[in-house]
Structure 1
């Protein structure tokens, strides 16, 4: 199998370590789609995982990175074929399943979504998991009948991540 570059978190007696290394494709976890990762972003949770400041990573070794966009290289999933542009956010990737800070990822096809029309891979990762989470929250408010005429919305943590995207969407 091919080797590719990846950030890898290891844990030993001396604690957690992070290295940029060659990773063997044969060591990727189970999944029915292999993706060539083209873009990712840095989330608060990724920072915690990479620094070891919080117990985000639940198995070692771990490739961190909770979201990515990329191109399908191989697929046994009925909805994806090689060459398809895809996006992934969440699903324990970077925590319990090898993540996005690598040139390749192997995941379950059910975790993927096609790259949305009109968005580039760069734009999807600029939005990232934080933007996706903020959008889901706003959709839940709308589903419960909350509208701007109901009054102002309070957003906490608006200096970055989910909060800043929520403020932009609410505006």
Structure 2
């Protein structure tokens, strides 16, 4: 198969992948493209730099095809949305646990949260007086730290 044909197939698959998630944010689409490229690179590495259509298909949509098969050969919008939402929230939960989990045991405790808060507070309390003053907040801090106004919550 010619290189131009391979590229055309890759772009068709990319367009299909992006089209099926048109409702997603641009960031999600960019992550999908990155994931697609990673899957294709891995498949090609495993196959000495080339892949067949079947290998391409397996690399691209194995999880989606499994979901269709697990749901009797058809997947509704609601079923797909539920699966995507669950996967998104699981990724978010893993990031939060990784950020706070001080023992590395994959769980989140009140002590983990308090420990993280103490670290962030210490970073913000630049003069080490036990208080955070407005002047110690990062520039634009009210936007970065979740507040919508100048008052500290």
Higher strand fraction: Structure 1 or Structure 2?
1
From the CA coordinates, give the structure whose radius of gyration is larger: 2
Higher helix fraction: Structure 1 or Structure 2?
2
TM over 0.5: no
Q: TM-score, normalised by structure 2?
A: 0.32
